[in-house]
A = this chain, B = another copy of it.
Amino acid sequence: MAHFEIDKKEFLKGLSLMQGIAGRKTTLPILSHIYMEWKKNSLFLTGTDLETGIQEELNATIKEEGKASISSKKLYEIIRELPEQTIQIQKKENHWIHLKCGKSIFNIAGLDPEEFPSLPAWQEKSFTPIPTRMIREMIEKTVFAASNEDSRYHLNGILLTQQKIEGKEFLRMVATDGHRLSLVDREGQMIKGVEKGLIIPKKGVLEIKKILGEKDGEGEMGVFVNNTHAFFKMGKSLMVIRLIEGEFPEYEQVIPKNNDKKLKVGKEILYGSLKRVSTMASERAEGVKLSLKKNVMELSSYHQDFGDAKEEVDLQYEGPSVDIGFNARYLIEAIQSFDTEEILLEFKDEGNPGMIRPQPSQPSSHQICIIMPMRI
């Protein structure tokens, strides 16, 4: 008799969502495993690398309740190849499981499920509902600016906080790697406990984005935070992320106040020009020069071995001529994060950071990208 039965597609869907987390760290053998617990009408899968944990609830027919711990990668490989039929799974002695599907029979080695580290505790009723689309957009508009350098651990994440602006409450996300900064505010959403500011690691944020990408994108998700962890409930997926301890930089003083040279430009036009001109930027510094002149901005680059490139973008500009160098990739990534057809570039001079905003801006939604200049 099978201890539980599950549809192949349902099982595969759950396992595929865990592959980014379970088995990522191989220091402890059990962390390369998935913890399976079948009870009532569900199979619960849990995977964790101790920083990020994920739990999936899947529809299953339970004949007898049980638990197992099985290699995440091997189980995924097997389930992927099975025919689109019902899978029967039975617990055996010594933590093995017996799996049957169509004409295939597998005996799969496991570890003691009691040794699997449990996820931090949460309570269903503690979650604040937040529109899924809003969280996904806020992540997309900030995460690219977070640092990838292990040595700057407190910059390897996104600051989640709240901000009162002109009497209204905004949820805020900020990311910076010291060379650029992205900030986005959305009005009217409050999450208990984020007032003091939390740093959510980039890896966990990208896993949330991955799961949200698989959901239909509408509807709501639940968010709950405590002193050490943030919990995200998305449909039948739950993600638990250990917060980064440390101080997020004083980002507000970085935001330029006196960038008086403002240029409105089509997002796609500037994106295309930057992609072209950046092919001649050096691999290391990736620098392009923006030269403001009367009603035109010239983009140019120079590569020691390969040559040079330049291109003009027409726009309205009446101010003084000024040349400013920027990392081309930082500009491109920032531009891609905007949803509006036009964007506003705000500069001061070659020694001060540039800022980009959406155009027109919405009072209920703020977004800025700041990029440090470079000598070129």
Interface pair B96/A311, CB less than 8 Å apart: no
Binary contact readout A306-348 vs B (1 if CB under 8 angstroms, 0 otherwise):
1111111100000000000000000000000000000000000
Interface pair B276/A81, CB less than 8 Å apart: yes
Interface pair A280/B81, CB less than 8 Å apart: no
| A272 proximal to B (CB < 8 A) | yes
| A112 proximal to B (CB < 8 A) | no
| A48 proximal to B (CB < 8 A) | no
Binary contact readout A262-288 vs B (1 if CB under 8 angstroms, 0 otherwise):
000000000011011101100000000
Report the Cα distance A104→B309, complex, angstroms: 7
Could you tell me the distance in whole angstroms from the C-beta of A291 to the nearest C-beta in chain B? Answer: 14
What is the count of identical protomers in the complex?
2
CB contacts (< 8 Å) of A305 on chain B: these are 71, 109
CB contacts (< 8 Å) of A82 on chain B: these are 276
Interface pair A308/B106, CB less than 8 Å apart: yes
Query: In the complex, which of the residues A83, A103, A309 has the most CB atoms of chain B within 10 Å of its own CB atom?
Result: A103
Interface pair A306/B104, CB less than 8 Å apart: no
CB closest residue in chain B, given A74:
B306
| A247 proximal to B (CB < 8 A) | no
| A254 proximal to B (CB < 8 A) | no
Interface pair B272/A83, CB less than 8 Å apart: yes
| A77 proximal to B (CB < 8 A) | yes
Interface pair B81/A279, CB less than 8 Å apart: yes
Interface pair B310/A105, CB less than 8 Å apart: yes
Out of B81, B96, B272, which one reaches A272, CB within 8 Å? Answer: B81
Could you tell me the distance in whole angstroms from the C-beta of A288 to the nearest C-beta in chain B? Answer: 13
Report the Cα distance A277→B102, complex, angstroms: 13
Q: Is the interface of A mostly helix, strand, loop or mixed?
A: mixed
Report the Cα distance A275→B308, complex, angstroms: 52
CB contacts (< 8 Å) of A103 on chain B: these are 273, 311-313
Could you tell me the distance in whole angstroms from the C-beta of A332 to the nearest C-beta in chain B? Answer: 11
Interface pair A309/B105, CB less than 8 Å apart: yes
Query: In the complex, which of the residues A104, A305, A308 has the most CB atoms of chain B within 10 Å of its own CB atom?
Result: A104
| A50 proximal to B (CB < 8 A) | no
Report the Cα distance A120→B234, complex, angstroms: 63
Report the Cα distance A109→B273, complex, angstroms: 21
CB contacts (< 8 Å) of A107 on chain B: these are 307-309
Out of B74, B275, B279, which one reaches A279, CB within 8 Å? Answer: B74
Kindly list the 6 A-B residue pairs having the minimum CB-CB distance in the complex, ordered from nearest: A108-B307, A81-B276, A104-B311, A109-B307, A77-B279, A107-B307
CB contacts (< 8 Å) of A105 on chain B: these are 309-311
28 contacts between A and B (CB under 8 A): A71-B305, A71-B306, A74-B306, A77-B279, A78-B276, A78-B280, A81-B275, A82-B276, A83-B272, A96-B307, A103-B273, A103-B311, A103-B312, A103-B313, A104-B273, A104-B276, A104-B277, A105-B309, A105-B311, A106-B280, A106-B307, A106-B308, A107-B308, A107-B309, A108-B307, A109-B305, A109-B306, A109-B307
Report the Cα distance A277→B101, complex, angstroms: 12
CB closest residue in chain B, given A302:
B107
CB contacts (< 8 Å) of A275 on chain B: these are 81
CB contacts (< 8 Å) of A104 on chain B: these are 273, 276-277, 309-311
CB contacts (< 8 Å) of A311 on chain B: these are 103-105
Report the Cα distance A312→B105, complex, angstroms: 9
CB contacts (< 8 Å) of A272 on chain B: these are 81, 83
Report the Cα distance A234→B106, complex, angstroms: 49
Binary contact readout A40-64 vs B (1 if CB under 8 angstroms, 0 otherwise):
0000000000000000000000000
